[in-house]
Amino acid sequence: MSRPVFLFDLDGTLLDTDADLAAAVNAARAALGLPALGVDAVRPHIGWGLGHLLRGTLPAAQHARLSAAREHFHAHYRAHLLDHSRPFADADAVVAALGPARCGLVTNKPGAFVDALIERLGWRFGVVVAGDTLAARKPDAAPLRHAAEALGAEPSTVTYVGDSEVDLEAAAAAGTAFAAVAWGRVAPRAPRVVERFAELLDAEARPC
């Protein structure tokens, strides 16, 4: 039996980035003359891509200034990628144990940020699909199918590990299995919940 292949989301799954993303959102808001938001107000908008994040955290009256907000967000986030962001427990270990042949990353985060983060964290993936790698991004099926193909796996033999609604929807669209991390907001609705990443390694002898 072939060994299972896993694809991972980044924000909220492998890496706790909420505080740094909220800080970048607030840098953009400050530049537009708006007060800061708490992390809890920003968190529900994370995972769908930067455009969604900014539209969700700016008043509708400010949406005409999204381009300026994006520039301020980019400038702040580039300089503060890992001020507060930390891998969740055992994330380093599971990425290293699976290795590039059986481990890929599929995220809606812009590629420039993804590349910088994984380089600084020392993570190696067999394929990385960022929010701007393809014409479509999650919840479209294309990113997961592209990643599975790059790893030489059929989507039906792959497990996608994520934390949010967009991850669950993307897995369903692509025909992959889905496992939610227990700390993710979609865990109560997920068909499988991972309490700790070591479970993925413990279950390698079983089909996913």
Q: How far apart are CA 81 and CA 97, in angstroms?
A: 25
Residue 83 falls in the annotated catalytic set: no
**Core vs surface per residue 166-187: b (16+ CB within 10 A) or e:** bbbbbbebbebbbbbbeebbbb
Cβ proximity of 169 and 16 under 8 Å? no
Whole-Å CA distances, 189 to 49, 178, 179, 180:
22, 11, 10, 9
H helix runs in 32-65, sequence order = 39-42, 50-57
Enumerate residues 6+ apart whose C-beta is below 8 A from 186. 162, 163, 164, 165, 167, 168, 180
Point out the catalytic residue in the list 9, 11, 163, 167: 9
Question: Virtual CA dihedral for 178, 184, 185, 189, nearest 10 degrees?
Answer: 30
Please name which of 44, 85, 46, 87 lies closest in space to residue 197, comparing C-alpha atoms.
87
CB 181, CB 194: distance < 8 Å: yes
Q: Rounded CA gap, 121 and 82, in Å?
A: 9
User: Hey, which residues are catalytic here?
Assistant: 9
